[in-house]
Amino acid sequence: MAWFLIHTMLIVVDGLMDSPGKADVALILGNTVHENGKMSARLQSRVEKGLDLYRAGRVKTIVVSGGLGKEGFYEAEVMKNYLLAQQVPAARVIVDNKGNTTQLTALNFNQIRKKLGFRSVIVVSQYYHLSRTKLALRNLGMENVYSAHAPYFEFRDLYSLVREFFGFYAYLLQGLAQGT
């Protein structure tokens, strides 16, 4: 129980301590798009954080990743359309419509970064999700992985922290099995 509490505190601290500086690209992880096509408050917060990074000149490109939700919308497409409406040039937004899970997002981003030569990334998600996402990218050989949390908090975060504890160790064991 003590290890769970200590590690959960580390997940919170890591997630809330945004990385300073610049990176080649921001990677925004998807989340719920409502049946009316509007982003959930959680997803809106992620996209706004990525937009802030872009406007501040901390990233030059944004990768949006998310799958087809049960509501019938591709999360990444909805994020892209929002960014375009906020005057981000289409050439600066890359869409991954197959990022249905954190692992798939990491795998898909790894292909994108190799193809386009990205050497650094700022991952954007909820604070509790960042440690595991950074680990997934590092498991794939990406060294310069930073993070920025979306400033949206809700009661469900408590459940998510428990899930992330176990998810982190699953990804850690996966990385060890791959030799990373």
Q: End-to-end distance of the chain based on CA atoms, in angstroms?
A: 28
For 144, the token pair is 């310069």
CB atoms within 10 A of CB 86: 12
Q: pLDDT digits over 39-51, tens only?
A: 999 999 999 999 9
Separation of alpha carbons 120 and 6, rounded Å:
29
Whose tokens are 């979306």? That residue is: 150
Phi, psi of 138 (to 5 degrees): -65, -35
Give the pLDDT score at 179: 61
Confidence band, pLDDT 50/70/90 cuts, at residue 66: very high
Min mean pLDDT across 3-17, 41-55, 64-78, 102-116 is at: 3-17
Tokens of 150: 């979306």
Whole-number pLDDT of residue 162:
84
pTM for this one?
Answer: 0.93
The answer to whether residues 15 and 127 touch, using CB atoms and an 8 Å cutoff, is yes
Q: Over the stretch 102-160, which tens digit does the pLDDT of each residue have?
A: 999 999 999 999 999 999 999 999 999 999 999 999 999 999 999 999 999 888 888 88
